[in-house]
Structure 1
Amino acid sequence: MKKIRFFLLTIATAAITSCASTHKVTTATANNFGQLRLIGQQIIPHNMPFKGTVTGGLSGIDYDASRQQYYMICDDRSELAPARFYTAKLYFTAQSFDSVRFTNMTSLLQKDGSTYPGAKVNPALTPDPEALRYNAKKGCLVWSSEGERIVNARDTILTNPGVYEISPDGHYLDSFALPPAFRMQATDNGPRRNGVFEGLGFTPDYRYTFVSLEEPRYEDGPRADVGDTTAIIRIIKFDNNTRQAIAQYAYRLEPVAHPAIPANAFKVNGISDIMVLSEHQLLSIERSFSSGVKSCTIKVFLVNIDQATDVSQINSLKTATGVKTVTKSLLFDFATLGKYIDNIEGVTFGPVLPNGHKSLVFVADNNFSAAEESQFFVFELVP
């Protein structure tokens, strides 16, 4: 989901920086997953030109160990350039994060091999790219779109969200079956606008794909709010062989972290990405933003779905009884860094560090706004 730009506070224009602080910045650890130690931070310049496009809107990231490169999807809805993803190299050690270098740009292609049109050309076919993962077993990529839902007196545009399999050069291969509960509707039913398929990830054996909604469906209850713990979203489990959904799980969101200024201005909390650790365990990123508050509130949770109810046959979580939601425990709160944190929307494991510890990489979507930053954070996962 994109933050509403005209509510943002002005901050310094982004420039390349590095942070080599290595003090521990952890909150509670969870189930022996480990502790996060900040290695460093980089910020790419605002609207940095690359291969005929401007960079920004980085909404998902994944690491390809065989090529030692990162894939990053851009959430430009074919407005500044056709919908696309980038590849990049990140240069870091256990002691410092030195630089980010973009290496290529690839357009996302429709079934007929053409690029996706922008809303001014054909809004019904305009995608809203949000997540991207590389399937090393099949040698392909999978990306998600939030679709579109515009219902007003002048027009009605309903474009379903989707999950798509593509080749590394962007060509369409296939799509995952969309359960009826996630089809866009003109009435207050189904998914909310900009609150749909924001995160996805594969199990380590590539047998399953998990896809997370950002915000609750209308039937599942209200959006997150300050002091309100009733907002529940769904996580969908797909079989990668059939591309069919085989289960859904309920996930209770944290409240919105801060009141908006003014009180009736835009505010949100939802899942901006997930990373799958096993068939039963995920990492989730909850991103809270309130107009008039400089930083986003970014919290990373360790999630367990082992005892959660399969809610795929339940239409309304708001009225259902006896549903066991997933359990989650706070792994890390970005507020502990004591610095400006932007709209973090992507997470991936990076390469194993020379000391044998895993690295964890986060990326922030700047919404192509000079008031925001395209941030990269690299952490060491300390056992």
Structure 2
Amino acid sequence: MKTTTTTTTTTTRATGAAAQQPEWSDPEALEEVRRELRSRPPLVTEEECATLAESLERVARGEAFVLQGGDCAERFREANAEETGRKVDQLHSLSGRLRAGSGAGVVAIGRMAGQYGKPRSESWESAPGGGVIPTYRGDAVNGPAAEPGARFADPTRLLRAYDCAGRVLAAVRASWEGREAAERVHVSHEALLLDYEYPLARDGATGRYASSAHSVWIGDRTRSVDGPHVAFASSVANPVGVKIGPSIGPAEAVHLSTLLNPGAIPGHLTFIVRMGSARIRRLLPELVGEVARRGTPVVWVCDPMHGNTMRMGTGVKTRPMEAILEETTAFVRILRSLREHPGGLHLEMTPQDVTECVSAPRPFSAPPPLSRYRTACDPRLNAEQACEVVERFAGML
């Protein structure tokens, strides 16, 4: 990584408990898995991470935009060249649309090769036959089948996650052939499972880095300033992100920026805004203003997905396209009004022909049953819907 990055990277001391961690079924097996992960080769290289960092510097200078997207929760069964190729092709296609619409460069980052763990609002859910079972927390933890045998937290799944990430990365790297470094797709995921992330941290030529992905982010549920997730993100030289939801205040946002980007390095830290269309106009302007005045540099990116989730009567989650487009529009207008760069989009999307996000004009009401609902966790944009969001963003520029 760049010397300027690593010489200013500091480690935040974690005093709080780690949130959103599984209750692993076998502590001894977990320790064996951690030892095995420490012994394995890095999934990504220090040089690859540095290439992404250079591209994100261009975003910080207002010369490019980020397009970060992919599955809500990756599945082990899709860790193959064909499925990965379709996802990479979707990112390239959308990047081309954004590039054409904005007249600027685009940094494509996939939610892939590691998005195998998921934070959840509840630890338990109702079982189809009665009683309760543990919540599905991603393929790196347990299985999605609604039965007790699939839902116990198995630490050996962390090794499968590593193997699957390696296969996905091989396909991603194959897509780099013939492309300039600035046009390549890089990979990212939420650094949620600390029993996976810490063993895969490596010492590079210029400092410590996360070898699990080119970039990692901290979720809205785990961004406590004194928590171990922020401590991990502050200890590595990779570009890092933080999901910024409606519960954060300006002082906390400023504090996070100084913890995670103490060297004020352009492009090192991304704030991924997920306020929801009903709150963004009220909450975001003060956050942006305070961080600009008192914090360190951040790239502002819009996640118009997570703050616009609603449940149907059956309990199935969906997201109204109208709300997604509203938040995208508001994000760009707010950043422009404050003379800050609207740095890009962070989307949960798939090239599959799914019906998971829906058209539901205000007042939002429950849509009819969704015929092609395939996500393992949260609803994703299909190819046509993802194009619509990217074109709305580009059109605002």
* TM-score, with structure 1 as normaliser: 0.30
* TM-score, with structure 2 as normaliser: 0.29
The answer to which structure, 1 or 2, has the higher relative contact order (CA under 8 A, 6+ apart) is 2
Larger % of strand: which? 1
Larger % of helix: which? 2
